[in-house]
Chains A and B, each alone.
Chain A
Amino acid sequence: MRRYVESPVNVLVKSMEKKLMPRRFFSWLSSLQVTVSALFCLAVLVVWGTLYQVDHGIYAAQEHFFRAWFVWIGGVLPFPAVKSVVAVLSVNLLAAAFRRRPVTIRTMGIIILHIGVAVLIGGSAIASRFVRESAVTLAEGQGTDTTYDFKSWQLVVALNGNSGGEPYSAIRRYDLKRLREGRRINLAPTMTTLTLRHIYRNCGATVSPHDSQTIISLKPVNTTSDEERRVPGVVFSIDARDDEQPEHSPDRFVWAGSPYPVLFAYGSDTIILSLQPSALPLPLRITLTRFTVDWHPGTSKAKSFRSRLRILGKNIDREIVIEMNRPFRYRSFTFYQMGYGGGEGHYSSTLAIVKNPLRYLPYVASLIIVIGLFFHFIVKMWYEISSLRRNRRA
């Protein structure tokens, strides 16, 4: 007689069921009711977020719905956003996976499909941490080895001075998305503190009538749909570190639209502030050698457009052609033809550059899902046809 040996997973599940959570809760957590409710929430969020895009643009919708944990209804009432719902779905999926189910030919497809979904969710969560997007516009003959992400801005603080007679120089970068209003940043080794009073994602500036380099106020502008065209600004103050009433310090302004950084002297220290897009260093230098557009005859509609680039890097020096639907991949970097500007004879080419070390994850997950789906439906159809035949014979 064969003795049934319980697998370690089953033992773990049983102990979890007994010790960590009540059986009924575990059963509820892995139930299809939770799945259906979470899917319904997700569907509602997708509709809501899509309609939100019409007035607020795609990036605002992504921030508020698709890349957020909660949506605040009327700024007060929280509603789970896509991240929360996907987290619930993942837990539900994991819990369901731990429930013992017979693995038969009829359930095989569904199991494969759910493994694919798990890989997709997990992969997307991990990949979102590593993906870096940027863009660069090059004229013919121009080259670069650094590109910039105009959707992600940094507050750059450069410090120069003497600390105890020792000259020093330091540059600090703060991601604007992570900064919050009211935050105080210690600017050691200087004896000053930076207080962020207002952070505007998109704003206009008023300059002094006496000095065009000095900004005297910032005014928020309604968020445009195109995040790459946003011009952020920060209202701040610089106070002595031991100042007990920093609110009395005057407002100072740094604006991304201004070509001039803001200089501030405090004793022997110099503090320079500016807003800069996040830089993405490339592993090679790209130079646009030629840009060409093919037109549909008699129209101003482009049939295709392509950039001929010279790429120069470690152990690589060659010419490549990038066009729509034909990107160039190098290690974890992918170079895409995004758009173009200018006219005949003086074109400029805009390239999008994405760094994604886990680029293949969605492909793998999708493949698993499709295989699972096909397997399931083929098996299902086979059984259906067999049953139909049986019925007909009967």
Chain B
Amino acid sequence: MHDDRRITLSLSLRRALPVLACVVTAISGCLFPLYSAAPSRTSSPFSVESLGFVMILENGRKKPLDTYARNKLLQFSGKRRIGKATALEWLSRLFFDPMRGDFDKVFLINNPDVAHTLGIAPQRSRRYSYAALSRAAEAIDRYYHSAGKTPAGQQSSFEKEIIRIYANLIEYRTLASAFGCMEPDDDFHIAAADSTVGLPDAVTDPQRAPSFLDMLRLNRFLAENMTRIHQLHPDSLSATDKAIVRITKKMYRVSDAIENSPPHLIPVVEQGKERWMSPWGLVGAHRSAAAGNPAMQAMVKIRIAYLRGDQSLFNDAVASFDNAVRSVRLTPPLPDPSLELLYNKINAFFIAKILLGFAALLALIALFSTCRAVPKASIVIIAAAWLLCSVGILLRMLIMHHPPITNLYETFIFVAWSMMIIGMVLEVMRIRPIGLLTASLAGFIFLHIAGRYAADGDTMGMLAAILNSGFWLTTHIITISLGYAGCMGAGFIGHVYLTQRLLFPQKTDLLRSASRAVYGVFAFGLLFAVIGTVTGGMWADQAWGRFWGWDPKENGALLIILWGLIVFHYRRTGGIDGIGLSIGAIVAAVLVMCTWIGVNLLGTGLHSYGFTALGAKMLLGYAGFEVLFLAVFGAGLWMCKRRGAGKTEARKARRRSTG
């Protein structure tokens, strides 16, 4: 009896262990982002984290500097960290200590031929510093202008890469010089020994040259001296007078070149209108008064504290900058960045993707394993990933005060989220292993695609006026996305069915349940595609005055419905069985991708938005894969039938010979 208990205990332990392991994985997965987003641990104890709360205006959206830094780093390097430094640490270095920042390898050059042509030694990491690229500045400029002559649609990958690098370099330079007005400039220094007039200390300090901002404070001194110098004969000018003339000329030269380029950190309300300024922009607009702006003064302190490595001074300066910015009466007032910082820290979709990767691995193991704990572990991880995705979507809604889907990136996230639900429902209905595979693998794929889209920049863009309708944006886009998810899910299960049909044709129960799953999920997709299209028509009627206009996006939705109807009606005639239904579902999935992404590539119609080269490549790759898959399946089926026919013939021959 004692042995029985031990066996029972060991069995239950064996079953529970993988589940426990998965729970630990899920929890650690949730904690990982908090750990990974922590400030750099190796560089110095100095932390710039408080700077992440500072608000910045970019593309019409007020966002925390932390988000801005992440997006910029992702745009330049395709990564979220640079070495061991966080995006915010990198951006702080670029803002306040650009000489050091120039050696950060932030520029991604995908094509090694480009690096080779530019005369730069190709790096394994494919990332290069500004210092390295500036040595090839002339070549980049030459190739850029040559690429600019090629029409946009006919540019080679080399030309596109050059244009991208050039644009990034220009933007980098703008960011690196953002605080240039606070940087000491030796040109503004006057040797005190030569002084024949009473010079202010700021210009004679041998320890520190004055900055442009310091010189603005000395406007009066320069003006008075220039009036005096004008009355003198050029030959009679002293060295100090010549220095004052030189400084004044430089001041004029710099002033003429001032622009309100990004980063727009300082809000100003003038004549009831809100404007956001960069430090240079504020100087350009307010001249000497800019130096007295509380936000500007705080920014000077932040820079000094950063360079000195004085943590408490830095934090105090950031706090006073934030106070100064928030004291400006803006309508609506500045949002609280805490939620967005939390969203950034959690990095929910990335972690969910990793978890789904694990779950997919377990689901694949479950195909060949009899251990019941493996699929259980997989579903636990999927549930954790779904929860993380839900939190991510919810946070985005709270941050933006928008419905869950407002752009292409969010449609991918939402479809991944829906796929996880579809998969889990199938798993609950014990349609195995399809449920697990759909939830994990399809969810993983869509989150991965979303991640690639995120590299294009801020995924929380501002809405165009036409989309400014909470009700229709919610109902139409959610329903049509559910329709997409259903059709994509059916297509995915169709693959599983066809593979099973090829590998295990004798497992009829398995095939029947797979076929039913294809039908059910496809029907779900069709139902929501119809509802989505109808609500889209209603929205079009509200916005443009017509229910249906044969716009490419509308036609795409109609095509999905028509295809669904063809498959379902044909199935009713008995013309197709499980194979036909699965192929129909796979074609429906291709049509969904064409409508979802392909329509944007046509460049016509009212829904033509969100075009990226990535979309074209992805669509082509996907369509190619499906053609290949169906061709392989067709060949496999033909061979199986031939082999089956061969076996029958052999059996008959054997019978004849024995008979």
A interface residues with partner B (beta carbon < 8 Å): 31-33, 35-36, 39-40, 42-43, 46-47, 49-51, 53-54, 57-58, 61-62, 66, 124, 133, 225, 295-299, 301-305, 324-327, 334, 336, 338, 352-354, 359, 362-363, 366, 369-370, 373-374, 377, 380-381, 384-385, 388, 392
Contact among B61, B527, B547, B550 for A49, CB-based, below 8 A: B550
Q: Which residue of B lies closest to A325 (CB)?
A: B469
Contact among B527, B537, B543, B603 for A366, CB-based, below 8 A: B537
Contact among A35, A362, A373 for B530, CB-based, below 8 A: A373
Tell me if A50 and B462 are in contact (CB < 8 A). no
- Asked whether B555 is an interface residue with its Cβ less than 8 Å from the other chain, the reply is yes
Decide yes or no: A303 and B468 within 8 Å by CB, A58-B549, A133-B545, A324-B543 being known contacts. yes
Tell me if A54 and B603 are in contact (CB < 8 A). yes
Tell me if A327 and B545 are in contact (CB < 8 A). yes
- Asked whether B452 is an interface residue with its Cβ less than 8 Å from the other chain, the reply is no
Please report the C-alpha to C-alpha distance between residue A296 and residue B604 in the assembled complex, in whole angstroms: 25
Tell me if B545 and A42 are in contact (CB < 8 A). no
Decide yes or no: A325 and B468 within 8 Å by CB, A36-B566, A296-B60, A298-B57 being known contacts. yes
Decide yes or no: A298 and B60 within 8 Å by CB, A43-B559, A366-B538 being known contacts. yes
Q: Which residue of B lies closest to A303 (CB)?
A: B465
Decide yes or no: A380 and B523 within 8 Å by CB, A36-B569, A53-B602, A225-B604 being known contacts. yes
Q: Which residue of A lies closest to B603 (CB)?
A: A54
Decide yes or no: A377 and B523 within 8 Å by CB, A53-B602, A325-B469, A370-B531 being known contacts. yes
- Asked whether B172 is an interface residue with its Cβ less than 8 Å from the other chain, the reply is no
4 nearest CB pairs, A to B: A296-B60, A325-B469, A366-B534, A299-B60
Contact among B542, B569, B604 for A32, CB-based, below 8 A: B569
Beyond A302-B464, A336-B543, A338-B544, 8 additional pairs, beta carbon < 8 A: A33-B573, A39-B562, A43-B563, A298-B59, A299-B59, A353-B545, A377-B527, A388-B429
Q: Which residue of A lies closest to B552 (CB)?
A: A50
Q: Which residue of A lies closest to B550 (CB)?
A: A66
- Asked whether B101 is an interface residue with its Cβ less than 8 Å from the other chain, the reply is no
Residues of chain B lying within 8 A (CB to CB) of residue A303 = 60, 462-463, 465, 468
Residues of chain B lying within 8 A (CB to CB) of residue A304 = 465, 468
Q: Which residue of B lies closest to A361 (CB)?
A: B547
Contact among A43, A66, A298, A353 for B562, CB-based, below 8 A: A43
Please report the C-alpha to C-alpha distance between residue A334 and residue B542 in the assembled complex, in whole angstroms: 9
Residues of chain B lying within 8 A (CB to CB) of residue A57 = 604
- With most chain B CB atoms within 10 A of its CB, the pick from A33, A297, A338 is A297
Q: Could you list 26 A-B pairs, sorted by A, with CB under 8 Å?
A: A32-B569, A32-B570, A39-B562, A39-B566, A43-B563, A46-B555, A50-B556, A51-B602, A54-B603, A58-B604, A66-B550, A124-B548, A298-B57, A298-B58, A298-B264, A299-B60, A303-B465, A303-B468, A304-B465, A324-B469, A325-B466, A327-B545, A366-B534, A366-B537, A370-B534, A384-B516
Tell me if A301 and B604 are in contact (CB < 8 A). no
Q: Which residue of B lies closest to A53 (CB)?
A: B604
A-contact bits for B186-208, CB 8 A (1 contact / 0 none): 00000000000000000000000
Q: Which residue of A lies closest to B471 (CB)?
A: A325
Tell me if B466 and A324 are in contact (CB < 8 A). yes
Q: Which residue of B lies closest to A299 (CB)?
A: B60
- With most chain A CB atoms within 10 A of its CB, the pick from B274, B537, B546 is B546
Residues of chain A lying within 8 A (CB to CB) of residue B539 = 325
- Asked whether B90 is an interface residue with its Cβ less than 8 Å from the other chain, the reply is no
Please report the C-alpha to C-alpha distance between residue A305 and residue B603 in the assembled complex, in whole angstroms: 25
Residues of chain A lying within 8 A (CB to CB) of residue B142 = none
Tell me if A362 and B523 are in contact (CB < 8 A). no
Residues of chain B lying within 8 A (CB to CB) of residue A35 = 569
Tell me if B562 and A42 are in contact (CB < 8 A). yes
Please report the C-alpha to C-alpha distance between residue A66 and residue B572 in the assembled complex, in whole angstroms: 28
Tell me if A39 and B569 are in contact (CB < 8 A). yes
Residues of chain B lying within 8 A (CB to CB) of residue A363 = 538
Please report the C-alpha to C-alpha distance between residue A369 and residue B558 in the assembled complex, in whole angstroms: 14
- Expressed in whole angstroms, the minimum distance between the Cβ of B15 and any Cβ of chain A is 22
| A-B pair number, CB within 8 angstroms | 144
Please report the C-alpha to C-alpha distance between residue A390 and residue B423 in the assembled complex, in whole angstroms: 22
Interface residues in B587-605 by Cβ distance below 8 A to A read 602-605
Residues of chain A lying within 8 A (CB to CB) of residue B462 = 296, 299, 301, 303
Tell me if A32 and B468 are in contact (CB < 8 A). no
Q: Which residue of B lies closest to A359 (CB)?
A: B541
Q: Which residue of A lies closest to B595 (CB)?
A: A50
- Asked whether B321 is an interface residue with its Cβ less than 8 Å from the other chain, the reply is no
Residues of chain A lying within 8 A (CB to CB) of residue B556 = 50
- Expressed in whole angstroms, the minimum distance between the Cβ of B468 and any Cβ of chain A is 5
Contact among A61, A324, A362, A380 for B541, CB-based, below 8 A: A362
Please report the C-alpha to C-alpha distance between residue A230 and residue B542 in the assembled complex, in whole angstroms: 26
- Expressed in whole angstroms, the minimum distance between the Cβ of A47 and any Cβ of chain B is 7
Please report the C-alpha to C-alpha distance between residue A311 and residue B523 in the assembled complex, in whole angstroms: 48
Residues of chain B lying within 8 A (CB to CB) of residue A42 = 562
Residues of chain A lying within 8 A (CB to CB) of residue B548 = 124, 362
Residues of chain A lying within 8 A (CB to CB) of residue B551 = 58
Interface residues in B147-203 by Cβ distance below 8 A to A read none
Q: Which residue of A lies closest to B535 (CB)?
A: A366
Tell me if B542 and A327 are in contact (CB < 8 A). yes
- Expressed in whole angstroms, the minimum distance between the Cβ of B563 and any Cβ of chain A is 6
Residues of chain B lying within 8 A (CB to CB) of residue A366 = 534, 537-538
- Expressed in whole angstroms, the minimum distance between the Cβ of A185 and any Cβ of chain B is 33
- Asked whether B53 is an interface residue with its Cβ less than 8 Å from the other chain, the reply is no
Tell me if B573 and A325 are in contact (CB < 8 A). no
- Expressed in whole angstroms, the minimum distance between the Cβ of B447 and any Cβ of chain A is 28
- With most chain A CB atoms within 10 A of its CB, the pick from B465, B543, B555, B556 is B465
Tell me if A36 and B573 are in contact (CB < 8 A). yes
Tell me if B465 and A302 are in contact (CB < 8 A). yes
Please report the C-alpha to C-alpha distance between residue A229 and residue B550 in the assembled complex, in whole angstroms: 19
Q: Which residue of A lies closest to B462 (CB)?
A: A296
Please report the C-alpha to C-alpha distance between residue A353 and residue B546 in the assembled complex, in whole angstroms: 11
Q: Which residue of B lies closest to A335 (CB)?
A: B545
Residues of chain A lying within 8 A (CB to CB) of residue B643 = none
Tell me if B555 and A49 are in contact (CB < 8 A). yes
- Expressed in whole angstroms, the minimum distance between the Cβ of A325 and any Cβ of chain B is 4
- Expressed in whole angstroms, the minimum distance between the Cβ of A17 and any Cβ of chain B is 21
- Asked whether B472 is an interface residue with its Cβ less than 8 Å from the other chain, the reply is yes
Please report the C-alpha to C-alpha distance between residue A31 and residue B429 in the assembled complex, in whole angstroms: 35
Residues of chain B lying within 8 A (CB to CB) of residue A58 = 549-551, 604-605
- Expressed in whole angstroms, the minimum distance between the Cβ of A106 and any Cβ of chain B is 13
Tell me if A32 and B465 are in contact (CB < 8 A). no
Residues of chain B lying within 8 A (CB to CB) of residue A359 = 541
- Asked whether B276 is an interface residue with its Cβ less than 8 Å from the other chain, the reply is yes
- Asked whether B565 is an interface residue with its Cβ less than 8 Å from the other chain, the reply is yes
- Expressed in whole angstroms, the minimum distance between the Cβ of B338 and any Cβ of chain A is 21
Interface residues in B517-543 by Cβ distance below 8 A to A read 520, 523-524, 527, 530-531, 534, 537-539, 541-543
- Expressed in whole angstroms, the minimum distance between the Cβ of B270 and any Cβ of chain A is 13
Tell me if A336 and B545 are in contact (CB < 8 A). yes
- Asked whether B651 is an interface residue with its Cβ less than 8 Å from the other chain, the reply is no
Please report the C-alpha to C-alpha distance between residue A116 and residue B546 in the assembled complex, in whole angstroms: 19
Residues of chain A lying within 8 A (CB to CB) of residue B569 = 32, 35-36, 39
Please report the C-alpha to C-alpha distance between residue A310 and residue B605 in the assembled complex, in whole angstroms: 33
- Expressed in whole angstroms, the minimum distance between the Cβ of B469 and any Cβ of chain A is 4
Q: Which residue of B lies closest to A351 (CB)?
A: B545
- Expressed in whole angstroms, the minimum distance between the Cβ of A187 and any Cβ of chain B is 37
Tell me if A61 and B550 are in contact (CB < 8 A). yes
Residues of chain A lying within 8 A (CB to CB) of residue B276 = 297-298
Residues of chain B lying within 8 A (CB to CB) of residue A296 = 59-61, 462
Please report the C-alpha to C-alpha distance between residue A42 and residue B569 in the assembled complex, in whole angstroms: 14
Residues of chain A lying within 8 A (CB to CB) of residue B466 = 324-325
- Asked whether B275 is an interface residue with its Cβ less than 8 Å from the other chain, the reply is yes
Tell me if A43 and B60 are in contact (CB < 8 A). no
Q: Which residue of B lies closest to A55 (CB)?
A: B604
- With most chain A CB atoms within 10 A of its CB, the pick from B466, B541, B556 is B541
Please report the C-alpha to C-alpha distance between residue A370 and residue B479 in the assembled complex, in whole angstroms: 12
Tell me if A334 and B566 are in contact (CB < 8 A). no
- Expressed in whole angstroms, the minimum distance between the Cβ of B520 and any Cβ of chain A is 7
Tell me if B545 and A47 are in contact (CB < 8 A). no
